[in-house]
Amino acid sequence: MKAVVQRVLSASVTVDGNKISSIGPGFLTLLGVAKGDTETQLHKLITKIAALRVFPDAEGKMNLSLKDIGGEHLLVSQFTLLGDASKGNRPSFIGAEVPALAEPLYNKALELSRLAGLPTQGGVFGADMKIDLINDGPVTLILEV
C-alpha cells in the first residue's frame, strides 16, 4: 500500500464536469492499493496520516497534526502509484490490486479516516477525476505500509 500525502490549502475533485468534493486546509491523500494489501495495513496507514505532525505551530515549526489544526482530508484512489516503469517506457500495473478487491479497501480508508475524527471527503473509485489543489509549503510525503 502506498500513499502520497500532500499538505494543501485547498483541494477538490471533479468528475464529468461536476465538483463532487472539496476541502479547505488539510491533506490530499492519493492512495494506491497493492495486491495482497490488508485492512490491518490500511488501519496503520490511516492512523499514521491522522497523526503526522507537518503543520506549523505558533513558532512556525512543523509540530501539529491534521487533528490538531482541525484540518480536512481528501482521500482519492490512485492505482497508478503502483506503476512499475523499470522496463521500458510504458508502466506496468500488475502490482496494483484488482478493482473488485481494491475498492472495498478504499471505502474502508474513507471510513477509518472519519473514525479517526477527520472530516473526510473522497473521489469516485475508478472514475476519470480531475483534481485541483493548492499545495501548502509544499509538503509532500510518500508513505508505504
Active site residues: 78-80
Give the side-chain half-sphere CA count within 13 A for 102: 21
Strands 53-56 and 72-77, by their bridges, are unpaired
